[in-house]
A and B are shown apart, each in its own frame.
Chain A
Amino acid sequence: MAETTTTKKTIVVFSGEMDKILAAFVIANGAAAMGDDVTMFFTFWGLNVLRVDASAHVAKTPLERAFGWMMPRGADHLRTSHFNLAGAGPHLMGHMMKRHHVDPVRSMIETAREQGIKMIACTMSMDVMGIHREELIDGLEYAGVATYLGEADEANVNLFI
């Protein structure tokens, strides 16, 4: 076996729109398929993609509850960054993705897990957005900026999406 060069890629997922999330997961899954270690660091609006599609019974302040209602609940409820068209945009894009055999965000997340991509949720922005661990999908790590920076030090590509 010829020597293959395993390198690391880190991706900061700050945005929560469907198209940007899609780009992040296509790059992440592509890199993992090419033998790279990949770490995705989810922060602020990016955390919403990791929410489970059901209300968790957690104690929240009224403001946290309001945030929870206003933000998309998981991968199937994301808006698009352009042409959202009051919610019609994601359906139109979903239709076009299906026609061109592009996997939806939900299955991209599943593929990322299968490939051993490390997904880290930023605990600081979870606090700010009022998002609790009980509301997020399983298999995540919880950490802060130092962990991300430590990972980025080892990487040769770092993206902020």
Chain B
Amino acid sequence: MTISIDELRDLKADAVVDARGTSCPGPILAAKKGIPAVPAGGLMEVMATDSGTLKDLPAWCKKMGHDFLGYVEEPGYLRLFLRKAA
């Protein structure tokens, strides 16, 4: 599934996890903590400043069975989107 940056920007997440200011493995820990609040098939956004998250969150999604949708770069941080396994 490919989603354009503009489509990502318009997505309304069921839960937003702010992992900005944390470093490895902070962002995936935050994702793990946040995912129970998301309904099955729901959307989660992870905000992060650690650039490794661009690789780590997709790897986490793959392992956990979620669908990594993509990311948007904002000034000074990243917004990453995933769809929770149905």
Enumerate chain A residues within 8 angstroms of B25, measured Cβ to Cβ.
26, 29-30, 33
A1 CB-CB contact with B under 8 Å: yes
B35-59 Cβ-contact flags toward A at 8 Å (1 or 0): 0000010000000011000000001
A30 and B28 within 8 A (CB) = yes
Number of A-B residue pairs with CB-CB distance less than 8 Å in the complex they form: 49
- Among the listed stretches A49-57, A61-69, A100-108, A139-147, which one makes contact with chain B, having 4 or more residues with CB under 8 Å of it? A100-108
Alpha-carbon gap, A101 to B20, bound state (A): 9
CB <8 Å contact, B63 and A34: yes
Interface class of chain B by DSSP: loop
Q: Do the beta carbons of A1 and B86 come within 8 Å of each other?
A: yes
Chain B contact-residue range equals 20 to 34
Whether a CB of chain B sits under 8 angstroms from the CB of A156 is no
| B64 x A35 contact (CB < 8 A) | yes
In the complex, A74 Cα to B25 Cα: how many Å?
A: 22
A1 to B63 alpha-carbon distance, docked (Å): 13
B24 at the interface (CB under 8 A from A): yes
Partner of A34, one of B40, B60, B86: B60
* Complexed CA–CA distance, A103 and B26 (Å): 9
Contact status B65-A111, CB under 8 Å: no
Question: Could you list some 11 contacts between A and B, CB below 8 A?
Answer: A1-B85, A3-B65, A4-B64, A29-B25, A29-B29, A34-B60, A35-B32, A102-B23, A102-B24, A103-B26, A115-B29
Interface residues of chain B, those whose CB is within 8 Å of chain A, are: 21-26, 28-29, 31-32, 40, 49-50, 59-60, 63-66, 85-86
Besides A2-B85, A34-B64, A111-B29, 16 other A-B contacts (C-beta < 8 A) = A1-B40, A1-B85, A2-B66, A4-B65, A26-B25, A29-B25, A30-B25, A30-B28, A33-B32, A33-B60, A34-B59, A34-B63, A35-B32, A101-B21, A103-B26, A115-B29
